[in-house]
Amino acid sequence: MRKFGRNQEGFVLVELLVVLAVLGILAGIVVWVVGGIYATSQAQVCRMEQRIVVTALQASAAANLRGEFPAVAGIDGLDGARNSGFLEWGETSRYWRYDAPVVSGGLTAANLIRVNTAGVASGDCPA
């Protein structure tokens, strides 16, 4: 049998605890940074979706000989723009709903309503 003496090499319990504490701090920093990146990306998705919806509605009106905006139809009100071929079928708007057809003067805040506020502050993606 081997006898263990005081001159044996290895890690002390305190050293292992210090290493675990440092790793825990690093993991906390990574989670915090990734969470901030996720929130920023969700706000960017919201703003980009708004631009896509507005562009599709304006393109539908421009393609119409009378310059009329599409009628409100479907879950998110955008089936008229989908029928015109300016939005893809099978994908609903995640953040926006086309609520009222445009009568004259172009799109206003009353025509698009933000329906999903999860993960994005109203100041980051205003209507």
What's this model's pTM, rounded to 2 decimal places? 0.63
DSSP strand pairing (112-114 vs 96-98) = antiparallel
Give all strands (DSSP E) within 20-125, no chain letters.
96-98, 112-114
* pLDDT one-digit tens code per residue, 68-86: 777 778 778 888 888 888 8
The full set of domain ranges for the chain reads 46-127
* pLDDT one-digit tens code per residue, 5-63: 566 677 788 889 999 999 999 999 998 888 778 778 888 888 888 888 888 888 888 88
